[in-house]
Amino acid sequence: MKIGIVGAGIAGLSAAYDLLAAGHEVTLYEASAQTGGLAAGFRDEKWEWPLEKFYHHLFATDKAIIELVEEIGMRDKLFFPRPTTSVIYDGRIVPFDSPWRWITFPGFNLLDVVRFGLVSAYLRFTKPWRKLEQVTADSWLRRWYGRKIYHITWRPMLIGKFGPYYDQVNMAWMWARLHVRTPRLGYFEGGFQAFVDRLTAVIRERGGQIKLNCPVQKIEPETENRLRITANGTRNTVDACLVTTSPGRLAKLAPDLPADYWGQLLELKHMGAVVMTLALQRPFLPDHNTYWLNIPAASADKSQNAVPFLALVEHTNYIDKKHYGGDHIIYCGDYVTPDHPTLHMSQDDLEEQFIAALRQFNPDFEPDWVRKSWLSREQYAQPVPLLNHSQNIPDLRTPLPGLYFASMSQVYPWDRGTNYAVEIGRRVAKLILRVRS
């Protein structure tokens, strides 16, 4: 078969890897100048290793991507440090990433500790997600953890992640986060870009074509259940096409999709992401060597919160600064609605806004600590799973013969991430091979 893949992110690359192994002809169309999608990186002239545009790590339970890493001969490049995750309580940064730290957390009394442990164990070791998707995370967590624990821990996380949708997200999403995540976090020698580069190289070695700076404008049916892909004004006929972009983008690319499927795509909600990366001349969170700091959020209207981002991630408290020329790397990241002003604000204005908030976490911080900054933004970065989301997920096989769709909105109940991008990419490749054989 001749197969076209729209998008050379992790899902598209993973699908291409298996389709090429089965002996088919594969062309990937990528609108940007590099492969990797949200896992792609960049490198400053001072650095030995590239850095992800959007902070990334793996979990020890991420079987799909670890299996692919082994297949392409990179297992010796993957390692699992044990960094510290903290929260802010009563104006202090407090580690909150292990049973002992829950027990000693100053915001909990003994009853709180017992309740937190029992409910968390239930979510960790059981699989009731189909029932949980029938209730909101807001109502379930409030009921079973109790109002106090909910407002200290889970509500700020939900607001930070989903903003105005925080009280509409179903509980299965939260279950999936607690069910599989591990304290040890995986990273690659050379960063995730090393993994992307290796996978890209294997695809090219197998004969796959990757067309960069080549956005697709239209996908339309031809005779004999074939499809015509128009990219950069050039038309190509294929036996099958896989689209790995956002649901809204697919709806625009394939206007011949039936109205019910097209409508299903447009009903899916999502959040965008804004990440400011700063290279500092000094460490920022030296106490407890915190890698990930969850920022408390009181209002679903993010403009009303004291801090304009949901997480502060000091990458070099996770990965040694020697790989970044001695720079101390921090990310200031936020999820915002697709029409939020920060997705269009100038880098200088956004940097000024973010830097102004940093002294809340380190009173010694001065703006001249910042050597350089980078801004990354993406409108489609986090699906919003509402009640009974499993009933709203578009099928991987669209009603248009030969056209397939695989996106982060369809990895549910799991949260988006590189592991599930690999899983869904390989799953849809098997579907294409089975259907077209």
DSSP assignment string, 43-67: --TT-SS-EESS---EETT-HHHHH
**Full strand arrangement of the beta sheet holding 209-211:** 209-211, 25-29, 2-6, 240-243, 403-405
pTM, to two decimals: 0.95
SS3 content of the chain, % helix, strand, coil (to 5): 40, 25, 35
CA-CA distance, 293 to 88, in Å (whole number)? 8
Burial 361-380 (b: 16+ CB within 10 A, else e): bbeebeeebbeebbbbbbbb
CATH code for the domain of 330: 3.90.660.20
pLDDT (mean) for 153-177: 95
Amino acid, single-letter form, for residue 231: A
Parallel/antiparallel/unpaired status of strands 209-211 and 25-29: parallel
- Which residue bears the tokens 């004969």? 207
Read off the DSSP letter of residue 411: S
* The pLDDT of residue 190: 98
* The pLDDT of residue 203: 98
Q: Are residues 69 and 134 in the same domain?
A: no
Q: Are residues 205 and 228 in the same domain?
A: yes
**Full strand arrangement of the beta sheet holding 311-314:** 92-95, 84-89, 290-294, 311-314, 328-336, 269-280, 370-384
Residue 16 lies in a domain: yes
Q: List the beta strands (DSSP E) in 239-282.
A: 240-243, 269-280
DSSP H or E segment with residue 376? strand 370-384
Residue 109 lies in a domain: yes
Residue 194 lies in a domain: yes
Q: Are residues 282 and 373 in the same domain?
A: yes
Domain end among 147, 180, 213: 180
Read off the DSSP letter of residue 301: S
Residue 304 lies in a domain: yes
Cross-strand bridge partners of residue 137? none
Q: Are residues 137 and 162 in the same domain?
A: yes
Domain end among 348, 367, 384: 384
Q: Are residues 330 and 256 in the same domain?
A: no
CA-CA distance, 397 to 225, in Å (whole number)? 14
* The pLDDT of residue 335: 95
Residue 354 lies in a domain: yes
**Given CA atoms 343, 348, 349, 355 in this order, what sign does their dihedral have?**
positive
Q: Which three-class secondary structure state does DSSP give residue 134?
A: coil
Domain end among 384, 400, 425: 384
Q: Is the peptide bond before 286 cis (omega within 30 degrees of 0)?
A: no
Are 308 and 334 a contacting pair, CB within 8 Å? yes
Q: Which of the pair, 304 or 253, is modelled with greater confidence?
A: 253
Q: Among 123-127, 283-287, 328-332, 386-390, whose mean pLDDT is lowest?
A: 283-287
Q: Are residues 307 and 349 in the same domain?
A: yes
> Is the per-residue pLDDT at 436 higher than 80?
no
Specify the number of domains making up the chain.
3
Residue 185 lies in a domain: no
pLDDT (mean) for 15-29: 98
pLDDT (mean) for 191-205: 98
Are 328 and 322 a contacting pair, CB within 8 Å? no
> Is the per-residue pLDDT at 212 higher than 70?
yes
Cross-strand bridge partners of residue 70? none
Q: Are residues 321 and 373 in the same domain?
A: yes
Question: What is the token pair recorded at 178?
Answer: 């607690």
Q: Are residues 277 and 377 in the same domain?
A: yes
* The pLDDT of residue 135: 98
Longest CA–CA separation in the chain, Å: 69
CA-CA distance, 192 to 207, in Å (whole number)? 23
* The pLDDT of residue 305: 84
Give helix then strand counts, H and E, for the chain. 14, 20
Residue 249 lies in a domain: yes
Amino acid, single-letter form, for residue 309: F
Are 356 and 276 a contacting pair, CB within 8 Å? no
* The pLDDT of residue 437: 61
Read off the DSSP letter of residue 78: E
Q: Are residues 33 and 64 in the same domain?
A: yes
* The pLDDT of residue 224: 85
Domain membership of residue 413 as a residue range: 2-79+190-267+388-436
Q: Are residues 125 and 155 in the same domain?
A: yes
CA-CA distance, 133 to 150, in Å (whole number)? 18
**Full strand arrangement of the beta sheet holding 227-231:** 216-221, 227-231, 234-238
CATH code for the domain of 431: 3.50.50.60
Number of residues in the chain: 437
For the segment 47-98, what is each residue's pLDDT rounded down to a tens digit? 999 999 999 999 999 999 999 999 999 999 999 999 999 999 998 999 999 9
Read off the DSSP letter of residue 358: G
Are 154 and 188 a contacting pair, CB within 8 Å? no
For the segment 274-310, what is each residue's pLDDT rounded down to a tens digit? 999 999 999 999 777 999 999 988 888 877 888 999 9
Q: Are residues 133 and 199 in the same domain?
A: no
Q: Are residues 58 and 205 in the same domain?
A: yes
CA-CA distance, 251 to 261, in Å (whole number)? 9
CA-CA distance, 74 to 66, in Å (whole number)? 9
> Is the per-residue pLDDT at 28 higher than 90?
yes
For the segment 320-333, what is each residue's pLDDT rounded down to a tens digit? 999 999 999 999 99
Residue 93 lies in a domain: no
